[in-house]
Amino acid sequence: MYWKKCLDDEAYKLQKAEVKLLGPSQCTDLWARNNWSKKNFTDDLFCTEKFAKEACSLAMGSPVVHNGKLVGIITKGGCSEYPEVYINLIKYKDWLHNHTK
């Protein structure tokens, strides 16, 4: 699910799209073409393939939901040809639980 950046009527409705998870090496190999160093890809990030033209309208901070649970937030990608990069919230689960009571 994601929010669109644009200000049309659809922007105010939560959108949904299926995305395919990429392995770390797939992601870093593709981003390396854009001079993004593999050392920038840490274990608290994960990537998905681009999905259609909708990817260009994704808002940074849009959620990734798996089985009804928030698992990631988009942080890099947008209108480029490269995979979407997300913060892996599972890595921060304990911290989030302890600081959001």
Domains and CATH numbers, the chain: 9-99 (2.40.10.10)
Q: How far is CA 1 from the centre of its chain?
A: 10
| Cβ atoms within 10 Å, residue 83 | 24
Q: Which residue has the higher pLDDT, 31 or 2?
A: 31
Residues 64 and 70: beta-carbon distance below 8 Å: yes
Phi-psi region of 88 (alpha: psi -120 to 50; beta: other; left: phi over 0): beta
Give the pLDDT of residue 19: 81
pLDDT tens digits along 51-61? 655 555 556 77
- Highest-pLDDT range among 25-29, 34-38, 87-91: 87-91
Mean pLDDT computed over 4-17: 61
Cβ atoms < 10 Å from Cβ of 77: 20
Look-up: residue for tokens 């840490």?
Answer: 42
pTM: 0.72
